[in-house]
Homo-oligomer: A and B are copies of this chain.
Amino acid sequence: MLEIRIEKTTKPKQKPENSAKLPFGSIFTDHMFVMNYDEGKGWHDARIIPYQNLSLEPSAMVFHYGQEMFEGLKAYKTDDGRTLLFRPQKNIERANNSNARLCIPQIPPEIFLDALKAVVKMDEDWIPTAEGTSLYIRPFVIATEPHLGVKASSSYLFIIILSPSGAYYANGFNPVKIWIEDDYVRAVRGGIGESKTGGNYVASLKAQEKAHDGGYNQVLWLDGVERKYIEEVGAMNIFFKINGTVITPQLNGSILPGVTRSSVVDLCKSWGYPTEERKISIDEVFEAFQKGQLEEVWGTGTAAVISPVDQLKWKDHLMPVNPGKIGPLSQKLYDTITGIQLGKIEDTFHWTLEVK
């Protein structure tokens, strides 16, 4: 068990209204978890302190060389008052895979989990319960060495902040329109695409801007080599249901291995759908659409859980998929996953972890 020094806030903040209209990721709770890393000393000084600003040298490496890793997961409050995390071990495993690629030191998984549980427990009164809400948990690591040479930092901060949040997309669990980008590239094999790190997100902003200007919510990325195979949607992985088969791009090094993605694959298989993780080209999707076999499209991610897609745009081709409607499988996946997360549906996969 990790020893955590605790300094409680003396000025508790006003909690937001427990409403489905909570914004995503802009309100933060009373406390945060912080732990330091220094070369030769390892991770040390684990503490829960009042939520507060970070004080860093302007030369801290995170501001210059992008050495930063983050994760995202959620805590839910059940009707009988229990606090549940959803598959936190998957996030911890992915965090350490990101760390390895980014030359950030590994965080011992048991310490990571203890930290998560302790800080969520401390602020569990902040977990909202209104429809579609949860406590969004953001663990992240930043490089702090004050030095302008390009190398791995010798010091880091590991921080966990908590945000009572509503739906990631302002329109909630409603269909989104997706723009398929064939000019800008998010990531390429051999790069950092499978790591959860800032560089992938900043690379996506320009195309996101283009998509928004065209009336689209999100960008679907094609691979950086052939500009042909489907990768992911920046903030989500993507699934297609074609002629009864569920298909999602296989993990190839440039796609983020989503926790919700993995859960959706398991659920679809358990329900008897032929489910394939494989290369899928945009041409194949377009052909399926033309033949009337593109039955459903949805995104998966921690923030939005399931995000039904009702329109794809690729070059001059418009592909309306169930316009304005939520596909039955998308709906069933959303209901099942959120049901498990909220403790309303039996957790046969043992995905939830109670914070005691």
Contacts and interface: CB of A to CB of B under 8 A. Distances in A.
A132 interface: no
B26 A147 contact: yes
A298 interface: no
A38 B206 CA distance: 19
A26 B148 contact: yes
Interface in A139-192: 140, 142, 146-152, 159, 161, 163, 168, 183-192
A138 B142 contact: no
A191 B25 contact: no
Contact of A192 (B59, B148, B202): B202
Copies of this protein chain in the complex: 2
A236 to B, nearest CB: 10
A300 to B, nearest CB: 16
Nearest to A192: B203
Interface residues of A, number: 68
A199 B184 CA distance: 15
Interface stretch (A63-71, A76-84, A113-121): A63-71
Contacts of A58: 28, 32, 51-54, 140, 159, 161
A227 B191 CA distance: 12
A67 B24 contact: no
B151 A205 contact: yes
Contacts of A149: 24-26, 168
Interface in A216-238: 224-225, 227, 234-235
A31 to B, nearest CB: 11
Contacts of A204: 150
A209 interface: yes
A251 interface: no
A311 B188 CA distance: 28
A218 to B, nearest CB: 10
Given A58-B53, A150-B235, A235-B150, A66 B198 contact: yes
A202 B201 CA distance: 13
Contacts of A235: 150
Contact of A161 (B59, B67, B208): B59
A197 interface: yes
> Looking at A51, A151, A188, which has the most chain B CB atoms within 10 Å of its CB?
A188
A2 interface: no
A62 B55 CA distance: 14
Contacts of A55: 53-55
Given A58-B54, A183-B190, A202-B192, A138 B197 contact: no
Interface in A80-105: 101-103
A56 interface: yes
**Shortest Cβ-Cβ A-B pairs, 9 listed:** A199-B199, A66-B198, A25-B148, A185-B190, A65-B201, A66-B202, A188-B188, A103-B205, A188-B224
